[in-house]
Amino acid sequence: MAGKLNRGMSVIESYRLLKDGRELNDDEIFLASALGWCIEWLQAHFLVMDDIMDNSHTRRGQPCWFRLPNV
């Protein structure tokens, strides 16, 4: 995985801060994690759309996803 997933991980940490440092229960961890993954997928969508609109060939030194064979 190329990115550091900082956006997604920061959602969980932000949730903890909003709870004034109290421990998160399993449901809260699950929901915060799901939201974090949604944010990561949204960012990935923006990057792919940007590459398509710019007709890019590479991102971070790798071929753009939409240019891979069988895509």
Range of the domain at 21: 6-67
**Confidence at residue 8, expressed as pLDDT on a 0 to 100 scale:** 79
- On whether residue 55 sits in a domain, the answer given is yes
- On whether residue 1 sits in a domain, the answer given is no
**Confidence at residue 4, expressed as pLDDT on a 0 to 100 scale:** 72
- On whether residue 16 sits in a domain, the answer given is yes
**Confidence at residue 9, expressed as pLDDT on a 0 to 100 scale:** 82
Q: What values do phi and psi take at 8, rounded to 5?
A: -65, -40
2: pLDDT strictly greater than 60: no
Neighbours of 35 (CB within 10 A): 15
Number of domains in the chain: 1
- On whether residue 62 sits in a domain, the answer given is yes
**Which amino acid, one-letter code, is at 52?**
I
| DSSP one-letter code for 7 | H
- Report DSSP letters for 9-26, one per residue: HHHHHHHHHHTTTPPPPH
Task: Kindly report, residue by residue over 21-70, the tens digit of the pLDDT.
Answer: 789 999 999 999 999 999 989 998 999 999 999 999 999 899 998 899 99
pTM over 0.85: no
List, in order, residues 6 or more apart from 11 with CB less than 8 Å away. Answer: 32, 33, 35, 36, 39
